[in-house]
Amino acid sequence: MKKNVKTPLWVSLKRGLLGRCPQCGTGKLFKSYLKQVQSCSSCGEKLDHIRADDGPAWLSILLAGHLMIPFILAFNQEDSLPEWAAMTLWPLLSVVLILMILPRTKGLFIALIWRQGN
């Protein structure tokens, strides 16, 4: 893909969510769980200067909270779980959900920052 061609915003965001280069969509965005690559292995786009900072963590916690609250409220209304089980289950599920969402939100923020600077 040519450097002077501007990728549409929604395409860049989708690629970021999938953990792919926002420019070409084929190269990987991360070399490990949250460690981003210096540049795309496919198109050579420089990505190491982009810093997402606390945005992905904030969005991950916000999304996980909104996804977990309906389940927590539904189970707690019926008193179907003992207190010790609820105090173990809900934090554990919340952490797992946040860890699943975090790389995707970081990819989203990297793609958004890349697109605004492009």
Looking at the chain, the whole-number percentage of residues with pLDDT higher than 70 is 95
Q: What SS3 class is residue 94?
A: helix
Q: Are 50 and 60 in contact (CB under 8 A)?
A: no
Q: Model confidence at 1, in pLDDT bands (50, 70, 90)?
A: very low
Q: How far is CA 3 from the centre of its chain?
A: 25
Q: Are 81 and 75 in contact (CB under 8 A)?
A: yes
Domain residue limits, the chain:
9-117
Place of tokens 């409220």: 73
DSSP code at position 32: S
7 versus 79: the higher-pLDDT residue is 7
